[in-house]
Every structure is written in structure tokens, then in C-alpha cells.
Structure 1
Amino acid sequence: MKEIWQVTQETKTLPKLNNPLLIEGLPGIGNVGKIATDFLVEEFKAKKLYSFFSYKFPHSVFVNEDNLVEMPKVEIYYKKFNGNKRDLLLLVGDIQPIDEESCYTFCDEILKIAKHYKCSEVITTGGIGLQEMPEKPKVYCTSNDKDLFKEYIKKGMLVEKNIFGVVGPIVGVSGVLLGLGKKRNVKGVALLAETFGHPMYLGIKGAKEILKVIEKKFKFGIDIKKMSKEITEVEKELLKKTKEWMSEIKSSQAGAEGKKKEVSYIG
């Protein structure tokens, strides 16, 4: 029987990291977490450390800008700051595991890597899907450790205190990584930002709010203004489509009962 996950080391020698923080950002609602973590990889010119392959990947490939096919990617990058800052491990990718077993085994592999580098803290990221586009997305937090949770909801941390009743189960890597992390003595939080729950919508504003929280706590030197410029450019393209989507949604809901801001979350 083949192993579910094939993990390939992408560097000749493994780096020595200083108390690294692992940040996960795989696709989900609005791709909020993916956008935020991909931005960190680009912003810090992070280096590829590991790549993952599985026969349980979705049975599809992507067509790139050169009109050629590419396999879906899941990778870990690292960034050394060579100073007083904590180093970073960044989990990014095009897909998430598609079934329960592969999700759990994948999270186990990630936690093995985290433990190898003596990583004691994980941040998972994602979106909370709303039926309307939020002007200023709120960021909610949950954790597998009470004391760590308190650190994130301190005054000035830009995080909402009460997530209970706002989201249902956190499905996927964003949730399971925290659940298994508790069993493996790896503390973690999930930072979930509000976003418009349309499948074609990009939650860049939500991603920006998550990065603000991370920068507020760790002071990595994230250029939030750079992301603001990107938001402005993308918003111009999305504004017309978003108005059309909202119009369609309101029309389809005419005469129907329901909560205006019903939310859902899939990590």
C-alpha cells in the first residue's frame, strides 16, 4: 500500500530556525487564508522547504499562463530573519485534502515537520462567508489553548472576542491542524476574516485584516500599504461583477425568509 503523502525536501540542507511560527493558508472561502499567506511568501522572498504529493489529490490539473498543464501544488516555505524576530514556516498550496482521512494524515505530516523545527505555535487562516460583502471585515479568533487565545483578544489586537455562534464547525486543514495540534502539544489559533461568500469572490480585504493582526502581534515588518494598493487594483475589476452578484442574490431571495447575515465557514 502506497503512503498517502510523499514529502520531498526542496533544499540541499535543512535550515536552523529560531522558534519558528507556522502559518497555514490553503484555499477556502474567498481564498482569504491563501491570499494572506501567499502574500507573505512573496513579501519576504521565502524559500521553498518541502513539497507534498498524494494520490488522493483531486483528479485534475491546472492550465497556466503558458497554456501548459501543471499539477496542483502544496508546499512549505521558510523565512529566516537573522535577528530577534521569530522565523516563519509558511504552508501554501492550490488545494486542500479532499476527504477526511487524507486531511487528518496531512495535518499529521505538517505537525511532524513543526515538531522537528521545535515550532510551538501555529496560526491557521480562513474566511467566514457572508451573504453580503462586508465594508470592513471583522477578524474572529479561536484556539486550542486558553492562554494563547487570551493573547489574541487583548485590547488593541483587532480581533473579535466571541466567535461562538458566528461559525459552525471549522472544516478542513484550518480546523483539524488545531485539533491534532492540541494532541501533539502544539498550540495554535485560527484567524478567520469575514468575506463575501460567493465562489468567484476574492477575499483580499479579509486577508489584509488577518495580516494586520499578525503584524500587530509579531512585528515582522509586513508592508500592509503594499497590499492596500493591490486591493484597490483588484477592487476596480471586481466592483462591477460584485454588484451583479449581489443583484442576483437579492433577486433569488426575494420573498424568502432567512437571516440577512447568515454565515458559514469551510477551512
Structure 2
Amino acid sequence: MFRIIQISKPQLKNPILIEGLPGIGNVGKICVDFMIDNLEAKKFLEIYSTYFPSSVFVNENNLVDLPKMEFFYKRLKNQDLILLSGDVQPIEEVGCYELCNKILDIFKKVKGKEIITLGGIGLSKIPPDPKVYCTANNKNIIKKYKTQNLNTKIFGVVGPIIGMTGLLIGLAEQRKIPAITLLAQTFAHPTYIGIKGSREILEILDKKLNLNLDLNSLNKEIKNIEREIKLKTQQFTTFKKKDKKQETSYIG
């Protein structure tokens, strides 16, 4: 079950959706939260769901927040952005499928053109110079985002791309929406914050989408993002320990 709160109904121009949710190194969430702050994006929609963990987060005001996902928009010159962030991912596979399809329904209604998902590739050691890899649901979008710093030979580098980061681009193909995922190497530890990998992805997006991000402010802004992520990670650790599934090389 979903509860959708529509805060506003912006008229968007050929929007691109960029998704970044909690995962390995929190790479995707760091990127999207930074873009939301740096671009001063405006929230227009929230999703609550019974597919999210049965818990609440205690905020800095000592009050509770239900886990949610949030959609923000930013108007650009030629193409608008939708930025999707959130506190959690669905804890069950059925929920992941249904939420991804719900997001694609929303994206279709605003006549979205393409999707970019962001995540991390978990390594056993901290990578000094993280590499960024990509895969997609068609070759044309890979050509569009190809840069010298983006590796397209990903086969054999990662296992299954688990979670919404992978499933969203797979389901997008069924709706003929071009979609690509950018994955940065990071340390596969639940409390590690993959700042270096996030920066590599942000540099690629900044160049390809002409975002004019102030990447010099990343280290400063990252402290606030890091504090929020660590707080929610600590609160969520007990819940995650209940999951006895085998670890994979990449989790969305």
C-alpha cells in the first residue's frame, strides 16, 4: 500500500529522473541529496508505504519521522530534473517491484524522458581512486553519457544489481524509457560514507547535464548529509541484522 502526498503539480519540460537511495556507501543518496541542496530543488511529492520497514526515525527535535521517499524538481534551460531521494528502500522483493512501478507511473504522467540511477560497488577495502561504471537498458543512452572517466565494461565486475537502483532501469525498459545506472566503487561497510565515489559521479553528471554544481562546497555540505545518514543508519542497524540473506558484490 502507498500513501502519496502531492505537494505541488509543477509543469515540467522533458524531465530526467535521477534516483539516489540508501545503499552500499550511500553513494547514490549522497549524490542526490547534494544536488537537492546545491541546486535548491523544490519538493513536490512524498511517498509513504507499508513496504518500508516498520520503524520510525527520531529526528533532531526529538520527534519521530516515518520513512518516506521524496521527489524534488529543478528547472533547467533545456530539460528539467526530478531528484528522487529517500530514507530507506523496500525490505521485500514484491514491495520493490511495486514501488518501482509506482515511480514509473508518476514519471510517465509528467512525460519523463529518461532515468539515471546511482549506487555503489562494494569492495573489501577502501578504494583510493574510485572508478565509476555504468550499465543501461539500451546502448544509445550509454553513448550519451560516456566520458573518459566512465567505464562501460561492467560485465564480471559486479554481481546482480539488487534493489531499486537496478530494478528501476530494468522495468523502465518495458515502458520504453531509456535508463542508465552509474555505480562508483566504495567500501562495503554499513557505516562507511562513500564521499570520493560520490564526487566522481557528481563530476560526470555536472559535465553531461550542465548543472553548474558547486563541487567545492561538497566537503562542507557533506558533513550535514553524513550526519543525517549516520544517524539513520545507526537507528536502522538492528532492523537490518534480521536479514540473513547472503551478501552480494553490489546492493542498490
TM-score band, normalised by shorter chain: 0.7 to 0.9
SS across alignment from 1:168: coil
**Does the Cα contact within 8 Å between 2:165 and 2:181 map onto a contact in 1?**
yes
- Deviation at residue 215 of structure 1 after TM alignment: 1.0
Alignment counterpart, residue 2 of structure 2, candidates 1, 5, 20: 5
Shift of the 212–54 alpha-carbon distance from structure 1 to 2, 3 Å rule, reads same
SS across alignment from 1:31: helix
Cα distance in 1 for residues equivalent to 2:60 and 2:160: 36
**Does the Cα contact within 8 Å between 2:30 and 2:222 map onto a contact in 1?**
no
* 1:232-243 to 2 correspondences below 5 Å: none
Alignment counterpart, residue 157 of structure 2, candidates 166, 172, 176: 166
Q: CA RMSD of the aligned region, Å? A: 1.8
The match for 1:44 is 39
The match for 2:189 is 198
User: Which structure is larger by alpha-carbon Rg, 1 or 2?
Assistant: 1
Corresponding position: 1:183 with 2:171:
no
Cα distance in 2 for residues equivalent to 1:231 and 1:160: 25
Alignment counterpart, residue 82 of structure 2, candidates 69, 89, 99: 89
Ranges in structure 2 where 5+ consecutive residues have no aligned partner: 227-247
Per-residue deviation, residues 180-238 of structure 1 (Å, max 9, x unmatched): 00001111100000111111110111111111111111111111111145569999xxx
Per-residue deviation, residues 128-169 of structure 1 (Å, max 9, x unmatched): 111111111110000001111122234x3x201211101000
Corresponding position: 1:53 with 2:48:
yes
Cα distance in 2 for residues equivalent to 1:174 and 1:48: 21
Cα distance in 2 for residues equivalent to 1:233 and 1:94: 15
Cα distance in 1 for residues equivalent to 2:106 and 2:115: 12
Corresponding position: 1:219 with 2:210:
yes
- Deviation at residue 18 of structure 1 after TM alignment: 1.4
Cα distance in 2 for residues equivalent to 1:266 and 1:74: 18
Cα distance in 2 for residues equivalent to 1:51 and 1:177: 18
Task: Name the TM-score, length of structure 1 as normaliser.
Answer: 0.82
Alignment counterpart, residue 16 of structure 1, candidates 8, 11, 14: 11
The match for 2:233 is none
Cα distance in 1 for residues equivalent to 2:107 and 2:50: 23
**Does the Cα contact within 8 Å between 2:34 and 2:222 map onto a contact in 1?**
no
